[in-house]
Amino acid sequence: MNRIFFGVLAMATVVVASNILVQFLILDGLLTWGAFTYPLAFLVTDVMNRVYGPASARKVVFAGLVVGIICSLIGSQIMLQGDGFEYPAVALRIAIGSANAFLIAQLLDIIVFNRLRDGSWWKAPLGSTLVGSTVDTVIFFSIAFAAVFNGFSASAAEEVIWAQDAVPFLNSGPMVPLWVSLAVADWGVKLSIALLALIPFRYLVARLVMRGAQNTI
C-alpha cells in the first residue's frame, strides 16, 4: 500500500478538485474548470499502471471511486433554490453517471494500456487515455443529461431538463440538445490533455522507476 500511497492521494486530489471546479462555468457555459482537472485521473492511473502494474492501478481507481461517491453524497445534501423549489446540488442521475463513467472508463484504460504497454512508450498512455476518455464522455453525459434517462432522479425537481433544450451546436452550428454540445466540448478538452499529459507521464515514470531502483540498492 505504501508504494501506491501517492497515487491514491493524487487520484483523490483530482476527484475532489474536479467536483469543486465543475461548479464554475466558462466559455458561455460550454465547459467548466473541472473539465481541465478531471482528465488528469487518466494520467494518475497510467503512471501507476506503468510503474506498479495493473493490480495497483485498479486499487488507485477504486480509491478514486470511493472519494467520488463521497463527494456526490455531500453534494446531494446541499440544497439550492430555483424556480420556486429546492433541489440538490448533485442530482441522483448525475451521481450515477459520474460513478459509472469513472469506474468503467478507468478500468478500460487499464486494459487498453496493458495491451499496448510493450510498444513505444507513448502508445500505451495515449491510446488508453483516448479510449477511456471517449467512453467516459459517452457514459457520463448520456446518463446525466440525455432524455432517454429521464426518471433516474428521485424527483422532478432534480431533473436536468435544461440540458435537453435545443441550442446551436457549440454555440454556432445546427440545433442540437445542449448536452451534446457540452459532451463534445468536454471530449475535446480530454483529447487535448491526453496529448499534453505525455510530458508529465514520461517524467513521473522515470522518477518513480529511479526511486524504486535506489531503494533496492
d(CA 33, CA 25): 7
| CA–CA distances in Å: residue 6 to residues 9, 11, 48, 142 | 5, 8, 10, 32
d(CA 114, CA 157): 43
pLDDT digits (tens, 9 = 90+) for 8-47: 999 999 999 999 999 999 999 999 999 999 999 999 999 9
d(CA 71, CA 216): 38
d(CA 5, CA 168): 45
Which of 11-25, 41-55, 65-79, 111-125 has the lowest average pLDDT?
65-79
Across all residues in the chain, what is the average pLDDT?
Answer: 91
The secondary structure of residue 154, as a DSSP letter, is: S
- Greater confidence (28 vs 215) lies with 28
The secondary structure of residue 31, as a DSSP letter, is: E
- With a CB cutoff of 8 Å and minimum separation 6, the contacts of 44 are 7, 10, 11, 14, 60, 64
Q: What is the pLDDT of residue 128?
A: 98
Helix axes 40-52, 92-116, angle to 10 degrees: 40
Class at the top of the CATH hierarchy for domain 2-215: mainly alpha
The torsion defined by the Cα of 135, 136, 137 and 140, in degrees rounded to 10, comes to: 120
Q: Is 0.85 surpassed by the pTM of this model?
A: yes
For the segment 198-208, the average pLDDT, to the nearest whole number, is 96
Q: Is the dihedral of CA 142, 145, 148, 151 positive or negative?
A: positive
